[in-house]
Amino acid sequence: MVPTLNGRIQTRLFLLAIVGGLVTLIIVPVLPGNAPLGDKYRDGFIVLAAVMVLGVAWECLYHFLMQWRWEKDWPTLFGLATGVPEGLLIWILLAAGAIPGIVGTVGGAAFIIQFALIWLAVWLAANGPMRVPFIRWRFVGGRLW
Amino acid sequence: MAQDGSSAGQTHKLPAAGQNPAWWNQAGGGAPAPSGSGGGDLTEELVKTDVWSDGMVAAAGIPIVDSQFITVGGGMGSFVTVDYLRIAGVGTDRMKILSDIDHPWQTYEYLTRVSQIPRPERIRSDSASRPDNIWGFPSYALSEALQTKSWASLKQVLVEPIWADYYTPRAGMVFAGLEREAKRISFFDMLVKGQVRMIRRRREGGYFTILTPPEAKPAKRVAFRSQFVHLAVGYPGLKYLPELQNFRTEHQDFYHVVSAYEDHEHVYDRLRAKPSTVLLRGGGIVSSRVLQRLMDDRENYHLNTQIIHLFRTYIRTSHGPNAWMRRKGGNGFAYQGFNYPKSVWGGQLKAKMRKLEGEDRAKEYDLMGGTNTPWRRRWQAQMNEGRAQGWYHTLEGTVEQGQMKVRDDGMVVTLVKTPQGVVEIAADFVIDCTGLEADVSEHRVLADLLEHSGAGRNPKKRLDVERTFELRGTRSGTGVMYASGASTLGGYFPGVDTFLGLQIAAQEITDDLARHGFCPRIGPARSMSQWLRWLRNQPP
């Protein structure tokens, strides 16, 4: 899928909510850390929400950078590699206590596992399986509504 | 499989009274039997009349066959459209494919083969552009990885286009997939062989499509009466460069001057027998392919072939109007992965083009289309070697008519007008790789539509279609006519003459047909269930 700005944002929100939500639901109980499960879930979903909210700004930046590409495309690897700066920013904000609503302390290992799995699952879904239920999605720049 | 004219012969019966299909019965009344006074051929009255009645066709003695949907062409455009409709839930009894070829990939395979892409070679198409799979998943790269039990194709898709060339599928894999899908959707049960002569609007709504079956008995023509017509006749025809055409006609020489789009294997045979010079014309993908074949043969058979490559427009560097619209180029070529920038098939350029009209659209086409070829590592290495060793030369210039002649020693001499003056080039063979396309009016069916059925031309002078691919101006009562493929280039969507472009058109047409009540709109649930059927190779 070659995205438009609208399509980027919609696809990110949709996939993070559905795929990211599922991954969070499954992975949180086995993440390292001694906090009660309720707190771990709360923190896990807040991290996910932070990726969604900050992601809207990231997508604007990616769209701007894409304008220098003749093809106006976004290569597959870019979609995977952008996870590194995005993950780092979330981690910095977590460490600075700038993400509201966190009840416990999100450990480094727990964050890396959760973030990496969500990112990988969303990237994989966007690069194939999304086209199965949504046959028009790839022809409208990733827009879903 | 009904791949001959037999299926047409078996269905030349008029529906009996009371069996008339609802879609035309509402307006037209009962189906008249042929009066017997006509000889079953087109009458002068029919040829001259823009809109026909059932009675006129019957009076000519032409048998009428009813089918709610007709697709004309039977090649890749018809195939992907019918594939979409079958997946949407349309039965084979409601559609007919009128074609003079035996299987949908026949013309495509011929053209790719002669232009140096035999089955083991890779075509110029994206991994997810699968005409045999409307979802593009699994992609060709994933299928290849599974078939070959190798990660190589997936790795290439992961790092393309920056750290590797674009992944493209092998022609053989594409054809095998098409064969599987054609059988799965019972393509051949809908196929009626013959030559389509014309399509005319029907007074009571819908259309008549006149077909000449391969065997002219019992009637000379058959009229297919339908509510919907889809037209996918491919390229109207190929043209030679005028000076090459003149040379061929004047000297009756079809040996030394050839087109890359016709079988020209004798050139490569001759090069293996005698050291020779070849003059290549054109800077597109086909010139790259032919060049690769010449360079491969040179290496594999230790030949001493000299290659002179003549570009009409010589691209020296990156080019474009501003920093945000700059295409790579060099050594004569404009470089681009596919026919158009990738976002034409779904990204921001698709969205942009959809809004442009007239001259603005034509300008945008010229900017991002034109002659171009992919930058491939292997080709670059071969050309660099050729330049370094002095057997590959490039040249910018044009040739005026009458500036080609045969020398006494059999060499073809071309006088090339270059920016530095006129240069004389002597070559054993001239290969025209320009792929100039003929005007749509060169195609008999299209010319008839322009003259009699209200069809018009778009800013690029091809058939003018709506965003839904409805052929503008041809509406006939409840009937709608669509067109897709190369003959519609210049419309709101640029990539029409590509695999993915044909699928985008097919999707728009299927959605529009759903709005007209012909089929259900494919929603997420049906899409998923149908994908599972595709995966298991079960009929739709």
List, for residues A81-122, the tens digit of each pLDDT value.
Answer: 999 999 999 999 999 999 999 988 889 999 999 999 999 999
Question: Radius of gyration of chain B from Cα atoms?
Answer: 25
Mutation for B interface: A1, A2, A6, most B CBs within 10 A: A2
Task: Name the average pLDDT for chain A.
Answer: 95
At residue B475, the pLDDT reads 97
Question: Looking at chain A, which residue has its C-alpha nearest residue B525?
Answer: A133
Q: What pLDDT does A34 receive?
A: 87
**What is the residue-averaged pLDDT of chain B?**
90
Cβ-defined contact of B328 to A70 (cutoff 8 Å): yes
Percentage of chain A exceeding pLDDT 90 = 94
Q: Is the pLDDT of residue B5 over 50?
A: no
Interfacial residues of A (vs B; Cβ cutoff 8 Å): 1-5, 7, 67-68, 70-73, 75-77, 80, 128-129, 131-136, 138-141
State which residue of chain A sits closest to B508, comparing Cα positions. Answer: A136
Q: What interface predicted TM-score (ipTM) does this complex get? A: 0.94
DSSP B34: P
- Write the single-letter amino acid at B92: T
What is the spatial distance between Cα B324 and Cα B327, in angstroms, rounded to a whole number? 9
Contact A2, A141 (CB under 8 A): yes
> Does residue B217 contact residue B41 with C-beta atoms inside 8 Å?
no
Verify cis geometry, omega within 30 degrees of 0, for the bond prior to B138: yes
Percent with pLDDT over 70 in chain B: 92
The DSSP bridge pattern shows strands B222-226 and B207-212 to be antiparallel
Residue B190 has φ and ψ, to the nearest 5°, of: -95, -10
pLDDT recorded at residue B139: 97
Q: How confident is the model at residue B40 (pLDDT cuts 50, 70, 90)?
A: confident
Contact B138 A128 (CB under 8 A): yes
CB atoms B135 and A132 under 8 Å: yes
pLDDT digits (tens, 9 = 90+) for A55-69: 999 999 999 999 999
Do the beta carbons of residue A73 and residue B342 sit within 8 Å? yes
B238-239/B228-231 β-pairing: unpaired
Identify whether the C-beta of residue B74 lies closer than 8 Å to the C-beta of residue B98.
yes
Which residues on chain A are in Cβ contact (under 8 Å) with B327? 70
A101: left (phi over 0), alpha (psi -120 to 50) or beta: left
For B160, the closest of A75, A138, A139 (CB atoms) is A75
**Backbone φ, ψ for residue B281 (5° rounding):** -120, 130
Q: Which pLDDT band holds residue B29 (cuts at 50, 70, 90)?
A: very low
Q: Between the CA of residue B249 and those of B245, B246, B252, what are the distances in Å? A: 6, 5, 5
Scanning B480-509 for CB atoms below 8 A from A yields 504, 507
Q: CB–CB of B335/B374 below 8 Å?
A: yes
Using one digit for the tens of pLDDT, what is the confidence trace for B378-436? 999 999 999 999 999 999 999 987 788 888 888 999 999 999 999 999 999 999 998 77
CA closest to A126 among chain B residues: B137
Residue of chain A whose alpha carbon sits nearest to that of B524: A133
In angstroms, the separation between the Cα of residue B132 and the nearest Cα of chain A is: 14
pLDDT of res. B219: 59
Is the model's pLDDT at B25 over the cut of 60?
no
Q: Which comes out higher in pLDDT, residue B216 or B461?
A: B461
% of chain B beyond a pLDDT of 90: 76
Tens digits of residue pLDDT in B331-378: 999 999 888 899 999 999 999 999 999 889 988 888 887 889 999 999
Read out DSSP for A8-29?
HHHHHHHHIIIIIHHHHHHHGG
Q: What pLDDT digit, counting tens, does each position of B440-450 carry?
A: 999 999 999 99
Chain A residues close to B350, C-beta within 8 Å: 139, 141
Q: Which two tokens stand for residue A6?
A: 């609208």
Question: Residue B78: in which H helix or E strand, if any?
Answer: helix B76-88
